Amino acid sequence: MPVSASRAASISDPVHVVVVKAPQGIEERLREAMEPLRKVQGFVSAAVTRRDGLVIHHTFPSARAAAGLSAMAAAMVGASRAAGAELGIGLPTYGFIYFEDGILLIQDAGPQAILACLLELGANIGYVITRISRISDQVREALEDL
């Protein structure tokens, strides 16, 4: 199989886009970067998504679950950036939304990616933000090497 074909986005199901296949070395670095999140109390799942909303790496039980969240996270970040520009208050750094049964935390991870993290309601947000910021830097560095 040609190299470009083997690494291409898995977009054969156009409506329910699944996962972008990052090159092997990058995939491993992303997995390593995300690993500490699993130990955070209240952590549920997380996804590294491309800025257009395609999943690059995730810890969700299914790729489809990650795909939906990633597309929405990218739209949220995009809308937040537009709001920042409209209001003249700069770029967003991170955002979290409290739902009835959980918390969604989203942070930029460099020009290539966004990190979306799903947490339980009781999670220590301050601590999670510290961890997420560090992981975002690692994700950014990994994707800079692409």
Under the rule (CB under 8 A), what is the footprint of another protein?
1-5, 7-12, 14-15, 17, 20-23, 50-54, 71, 74-75, 77-79, 81-82, 91, 111-113, 146
Query: Minimum distance from CB of 128 to another protein (Å)?
Result: 24
Query: Minimum distance from CB of 112 to another protein (Å)?
Result: 5
Give the residue from 8, 36, 47, 33 showing the smallest Cα distance to 142.
33
Of residues 77 and 123, the one with the C-beta less far from another protein: 77
Six-digit token string for 55: 């999943």
Of residues 79 and 121, the one with the C-beta less far from another protein: 79
Q: How many residues does the chain have?
A: 146
Six-digit token string for 36: 């500490």
Query: Minimum distance from CB of 17 to another protein (Å)?
Result: 7
d(CA 67, CA 119): 17
For residue 60, give the amino acid letter: F
Of residues 74 and 119, the one with the C-beta less far from another protein: 74
d(CA 81, CA 101): 26
d(CA 105, CA 135): 13
Query: Minimum distance from CB of 43 to another protein (Å)?
Result: 25
Of residues 121 and 146, the one with the C-beta less far from another protein: 146
